Amino acid sequence: MSRAAAEQDVFRAVAEASRRVILDALAERPHSFRALHALLPLTKGAVSQHLAKLRLAQLVRTRRDGNRIFYAAENAHILRLVTEALFHADHVTST
């Protein structure tokens, strides 16, 4: 995959509002699927699809604990990306 294609995948993944909610939650700490589902007014299937897209873009990773799956931000780069994007949005809307 080229760098341009990887960049495009990342920006497409974070462009959708529900995925930004998920990433914002994961910036704080890992969450179970159930906890992420509770944050969004979406069906389980829709949340699962959003998480799959985030995984394909390598923005989140999973960890299984028994029959529960926990999601976390893939790395510190993703945490910075989310934090900076949210900070910028706050800055733009507060002026």
Supply the pLDDT for residue 45.
98
Supply the pLDDT for residue 15.
86
| Sign of the alpha-carbon dihedral angle for 6, 4, 91, 13 | negative
Supply the pLDDT for residue 31.
98
Of 68, 74, 90, the C-alpha closest to 23 is 74
pTM of this structure: 0.85
Asked if residues 19 and 13 have their Cβ atoms less than 8 Å apart, the reply is: yes
Asked if residues 22 and 64 have their Cβ atoms less than 8 Å apart, the reply is: no
CA–CA separation, 18 vs 50, rounded Å?
A: 8
Residue type, position 87, single letter: F
